[in-house]
Structure 1
Amino acid sequence: LPHSQGKRIPLLDVLQSLSLFLLPLFLFLLFSLYGVCVDSYKPVIIVHGIFDGPQQFQNLSRFIKKVHPGTEVTVIDLYDDLLSLQPLWKQVPDFRQSFNSIMKNAPDGVHLLCFSQGAPAMNLILSSYSTDTDYLQKVFHKTLKKNVHFICYNKLGQKVSICDYWNDPHQRLSYLRNNIFLPLLNGERPHTWRENFLQIEKLVLIGGPDDGVITPWQSSHFGFYDSSENVVEMQKQEFYLNDAFGLKTLDQRGDLVTCVHSGVKHTTWHSNFTVFRNCMEKWLT
């Protein structure tokens, strides 16, 4: 797994392979980190999304314990509620430290489930080592959409987590020059993270057309707008065609899976038992 200067990093010393699940706009991300096979279920670590905290994940915790009795489930209690607006570059080290402390007691590996912006944060933790319902729409109202780049694509804006993953298809150059987070994560700027990303064992992308927040909803499957706001599917995206961070290779390996559900709103993905049953349960062993 991810290395630093040719050495295996402490976070992942005991891990040999990894599966990852993604819901809208990195809405819901599940990493399965496997060690040796054992009869008991591996611990599950949950990372909440923007404006969330541990209490929003009580249902999901119950789902897991119901189908896999005895599973140890931990919801990370960091950057809750308004504190989730802190820049992701600031949040990541604290989440990494929390994961380290849990993983030290899990020699057989763990599963990581990350909702909303918790997913790109976790992706960054893995890659850098060698959104969100009506309340979010009120932050960036449709009438302000054309002007958000003035707010986000500068030093001050990049201190707010939402701006870290704001991708404006009409302001491509400004996005690439001034966004210090997402272009690196997507391989749109040169970096050395591709090899680390390719150590993901399985990537399952989960989303649906009725999310109500993620625009376009196909971004849950790495699709996005072109400059005319036509949706371009993942396989036609430049970063996929160039295999910028390894997504095409993962697909060609047969390790990229999509799971689409209609009728699910953004804030109900993690409390929808059908989604859990169809898209996640079998991977949590």
Structure 2
Amino acid sequence: MNVNTETISIILLILPLWQFITCHPLNSESSSGPRPVVFMHGLTANAAKSDQLFTWIQEDFPGIKTYALKLFEDMKSVADLSFQVALLSQELKNYVTQIDAKEITLIGHSQGGLIGRFLVEKLNSDGLIHTFISLAAPQSGQYGAGTFGETVQGVLALMLGIERAESLMKNLNGSTGFLDTICSDKITIDIKITGMDNSIKLDHSSAMLSLCSYWRNPMTWGQTSSSNEKASLLRIMSNDVADPDQTIKDNFVKLKKLVLVGGPHDGMINPWQSTQFGYFPNGNMESVLPMRETNWYKNDNFGLKTLDERGAIFMCEYMINHTVVPRDRTTYEQCIRPYLNIKEAYMEVVVQLPRKNFGFEDETQSIVMFLTTMVQIMAFFLVLMIIKAYKTGKRPIKFRRTSFVY
């Protein structure tokens, strides 16, 4: 069989490029479709808040599996956050086992985003949660009233009655003063949280309200207890305690992508930068430290700095109100959809990051693979030159010292 130079050239050129493409992680993962998506609702919300979001996701990715965690809906969501995380962990594990998923994308809105982070720190020892998208969640805590104060008043009215709730608010200087008081255990109010179906009944002291788990007064935070027994859940899960838990960090850094979604017009989370791990400095409410200037980041308490240096943190801003974030089409298209599909997420990385790692999770692997491909292509051109030389009857390449001439 007579194989001409052009045929050989095409084969030699295609082989290294084919090797690069077929060894590319994006190619192999995308063939099995995007990962299942799990959603966690926020305070006083429920699983139905994910309906519109799931509709868009299923339209864009036919056949994708979606699931909304259904425990602690509506008024049950004010229950102690530690208790919620324990039961939600089991619900998530049961679902993952049922569908036999190796990896998932976890999305949490508002308080659900904080719960989502705690689920990562608790369950991600085997890298189950590939991508975590935090939607308008107070990751560094919450302090101040605004619409959050209105939510607090509404919760109290349902639990204690309107008159008693209004009396407490008035005597304790509004919702901020109220939460400052009850979350520091200065007073105790016995409350009963009863689900609509009466399936869950919890008796709590006021300091065990879910809101108290992330209520963070910057004027007193530096003086609050860092002992593991008395610290708030936010402090414990951020490893900002006397005896930090290495497992929390080990699990958190197994995330492949952390997407932090927040915006200056949120109206609920204060400061809004808490959605992206920024916060007031201790003893000061006049300014807000961005994530990279906070002690949690600098000390790499639970792995923020590690993820950031690996290029695994992505920040996205919206210009809408807090409560409509999961139902906003623009937020979905810009801040959620690119991280659900492997190929689109890869394209987003290339656009946003100065360090292009060609989609490989390991940057060294990416560089080695790229250089190998380039060497193969150079070898192709060298072979092509030799073939042409012999075909035209010209003398082959001769090497002279450190260079060669033709």
TM-score by length of 1: 0.80
Q: 1:281 to 1:175 in 2, by over 3 A?
A: farther
Distance 1:158 1:197 in 2: 27
Number of matched pairs: 250
Q: What corresponds to 2:284 in structure 1?
A: 228
Tell me, what secondary structure is at the counterpart of 1:118? helix
Q: How does 1:98-247 map onto structure 2 within 5 Å? A: 98-104=91-97, 105-129=99-123, 134=147, 136-139=149-152, 143-154=174-185, 156-172=205-221, 173-174=223-224, 176=226, 178-189=230-241, 190-192=244-246, 193-226=248-281, 227-229=283-285, 230-247=287-304
Q: Distance in 2 between matches of 1:144 and 1:120?
A: 21
Matched, 1:73 2:122: no
Residues 1:237 and 1:169: Cα distance change in structure 2 (over 3 Å): same
Change in 2 beyond 3 A, CA 1:213/1:118: same
Gaps of 5+ in 2: 1-27, 126-136, 139-145, 154-168, 189-204, 342-406
Please state if 1:43 is matched with 2:74: no
Tell me, in whole angstroms, the C-alpha distance in 1 between the residues paired with 2:226 and 2:331. Answer: 34
Q: Is 1:268–2:324 an aligned residue pair?
A: yes
Q: In the TM superposition, what whole-angstrom CA distance separates every residue of 1:171-209 from its partner, at most 9, and x where no partner exists?
A: 112264644300012221122211221111111111100
Aligned equivalents of 2:74 and 2:178: distance in 1? 25
After superposition, the Cα gap between the structure-2 partners of 1:244 and 1:276, relative to the gap in structure 1 and judged at 3 Å, is: same
Tell me, what secondary structure is at the counterpart of 1:225?
coil
Greater mean alpha carbon deviation, residues 203-212 or residues 42-51:
42-51
Structure having the higher helix fraction is 2
Which digits, 9 at most, give the CA deviation of each residue in 1:17-64, with x for residues without a partner?
xxxxxxxxxxxxxxxxxx965433332211111100122221111111
- Map of 1:23 onto structure 2: none
1:158 touches 1:179 (CA, 8 Å); kept in 2?
no
Higher relative contact order (CA 8 A, sep 6+): 1
Q: Secondary structure of the residue that 1:199 maps to in structure 2?
A: coil
Does the C-alpha gap of structure 1 residues 94 and 138 become closer, same or farther in structure 2, counting only changes over 3 Å? closer
Q: 1:134-159: per-residue Cα shift (whole Å, max 9, x none)?
A: 36534167844245222112383432
- The aligned counterpart of 1:257 is 314
1:19-30 maps to which residues of 2 (within 5 A)? none
- Residues 213 and 60 (structure 1), Cα distance of their counterparts in 2 relative to 1, 3 Å cut: same
User: Is the contact between residue 212 and residue 265 of structure 1 (CA under 8 Å) also seen in structure 2?
Assistant: yes
1:234 to partner: Cα distance:
1.1
Structure 1 alignment gaps of length 5 or more = 1-34
Contact 1:52 1:81 in 2 (8 A): yes
> Is the CA contact (8 Å cut-off) linking 2:107 and 2:116 kept in structure 1?
no
Mapping of 1:45-64 within 5 angstroms? 45-64=38-57
Indicate the larger mover: 238-247 or 185-194: 185-194
Kindly indicate whether the alpha-carbon contact (under 8 Å) linking 1:222 and 1:233 is maintained by their aligned counterparts in 2: yes
CA contact (8 A) 1:153 1:175 kept: no
The separation in 2 between residues aligned to 1:250 and 1:270, in whole angstroms, is: 25
Residue 162 to residue 175, structure 1, CA distance change in 2 (3 Å): farther
Q: Say if 1:47 and 1:113, in contact at 8 Å, map to a contact too.
A: yes
* Alignment match, 2:402: none
Measure the CA separation in 1 of the matches of 2:122 and 2:103. Answer: 20
C-alpha distance in 1 between matches for 2:177 and 2:210: 19
User: Structure 1 residues 116 and 205, CA, compared in 2 at 3 Å: closer, same or farther?
Assistant: same
Aligned CA distance change for structure 1 residues 175 and 115 (closer, same or farther; 3 Å): farther
Aligned-residue RMSD, C-alpha: 2.4
Asked if the contact 2:279/2:290 (under 8 Å) is kept, the reply is yes
Larger Rg: 2
C-alpha distance in structure 1 between counterparts of 2:206 and 2:122, whole Å: 22
Distance 2:69 2:214 in 1: 21
TM-score calculated relative to the size of structure 2: 0.57
